[in-house]
Structure 1
Amino acid sequence: MVKSVLNVEAVKQSRQQGKIEGKIEGKLEGKLEDLLKILAAKKFAKDEIVTKVTHEKDSERLSEWVVAAATLTDYAEFKRVVIGCE
């Protein structure tokens, strides 16, 4: 009986962890989508940049790049922001 209760708790915890991870992944995907749309609209979506941003997993860094893409008007400046984050 105790073992089955522990198994139920383990399953609940696993599901909760999966939900949290799913939310985090969804937020990352949303930021990436927004960034790619801005890059395309500003003609900043060069192969090197797209490759770099699509491999990024740091939410804060993606947020910084969204702001930079939205506010900078010069591609070279934006590239320095993104490539300089290595």
Structure 2
Amino acid sequence: MSECPHTAELPRPEPEPREETCPECLSAGSHPVQLRLCLVCGQVGCCESSPYQHATQHFKDTGHAVMRSFEPGERWRWCFVDGSIV
């Protein structure tokens, strides 16, 4: 696990999730493989293993760099800019 400058930019406390699953997957009739929570705004998106990769698209659209796993029992965080667990 590494430190990155993007974690210092995160709001405290962590934002509440906007939804319980990926809304874009629901709209498309797809099932997300795993979920990610944006630690800047609370958007929930599907992971890279999902057909549509909405978490990555959220980063590309907004520049919100750090997300964490939104799976039960998991708390790891990923920085899209640094390409590493932080």
What is the TM-score of this pair, normalised by structure 1?
A: 0.22
What is the TM-score of this pair, normalised by structure 2?
A: 0.22
Larger strand fraction of residues: 2
Larger helix fraction of residues: 1
Bigger-Rg structure (1/2) = 1
